Amino acid sequence: MGKLLVHQIVSADGFAADADGRFRMFGQDAATPDFDRDLIVRLADVEAVLLGGRTYEIFAEFWPTPAASDQLAAPAINALPKIVFSKSLREAPWGEFPDARIEAGDPVTAVRELKSAASADLLVWGSLTLTDALFAAGLVDVVRLAVLPVVIGAGRGWYPAGADRLQLRLLDTAEFDDGIVASEYEVIAHTAS
């Protein structure tokens, strides 16, 4: 059985989206060459990328296009199977690469089934609504936070407000170009807030 990893890019004050739920807050490229090289190594253990519908649309506009060709991680990202959790999308093209599979049912049930059948890890990238449901169901095994050196003051946190408390154990931390710091944590326990 694979692990479920959640990867979030966040501001230094802990926000994964700005006040109106968008991701333009960062004002810089979060993919420096050394960050990309680290990501490529981490993607080698990933069986599939899971995305919410809105995150899929953002990613599909960039990763499978010529504009992404200068990003070292683009080939690894484009090669991985993708599953998009959406009740409204009918298709999920990924440029010249195979389309993403759409999962329109209950994401918690689907991810439980995916985890039990997986021989490697599953990675949820961004996708705050999806991760809210997966955290609430206790399905997340590992959290990786890539912290950008920017403070935005308000926005949407990476963990659902009002959810049970998470107890984490630090697995790894690394500093990258431009002050990006990534920390990876194992989820040890959920406890009532």
Predicted confidence (pLDDT) per residue in 86-130, tens digit: 999 999 999 999 999 999 999 999 999 999 999 999 999 999 999
CA distance 170 to 183: 7
Q: Which two structure tokens, joined as six digits, stand for 129? A: 């609504």
Looking at 14-28, 60-74, 115-129, 171-185, which range is the least confident one? 14-28
Q: Is residue 183 part of a domain?
A: no
Q: Is residue 89 part of a domain?
A: yes
pTM for this model (two decimals): 0.92
Closest CA to 182 of 1, 4, 5, 2: 5
Number of domains, the chain = 1
Residue 162 predicted with pLDDT over 80: no
Predicted confidence at residue 28, as pLDDT, reads 47
Q: Is residue 47 part of a domain?
A: yes
pLDDT tens by residue, 33-74: 888 899 999 999 999 999 999 999 989 998 999 888 778 899
Looking at 20-34, 64-78, 83-97, 179-193, which range is the least confident one? 20-34
Predicted confidence at residue 89, as pLDDT, reads 96
* Residue 63 phi, psi (nearest 5): -60, -45
Q: Is residue 117 part of a domain?
A: yes
Range of the domain at 114: 4-178
Q: Is residue 187 part of a domain?
A: no
CA distance 62 to 126: 15
Residue 193 predicted with pLDDT over 80: no
What CATH number should be reported for the domain holding residue 112? 3.40.430.10
Q: Please, which pLDDT band fits residue 29 given cuts at 50, 70 and 90?
A: low
Q: Is residue 185 part of a domain?
A: no
The backbone region for 169, taken as left when phi is positive above 0, alpha when psi lies in -120 to 50, beta otherwise, is beta
Q: Is residue 188 part of a domain?
A: no
Predicted confidence at residue 142, as pLDDT, reads 97
Residue 178 predicted with pLDDT over 90: no
Q: Is residue 192 part of a domain?
A: no
Say if residues 6 and 130 touch (Cβ distance below 8 Å). no
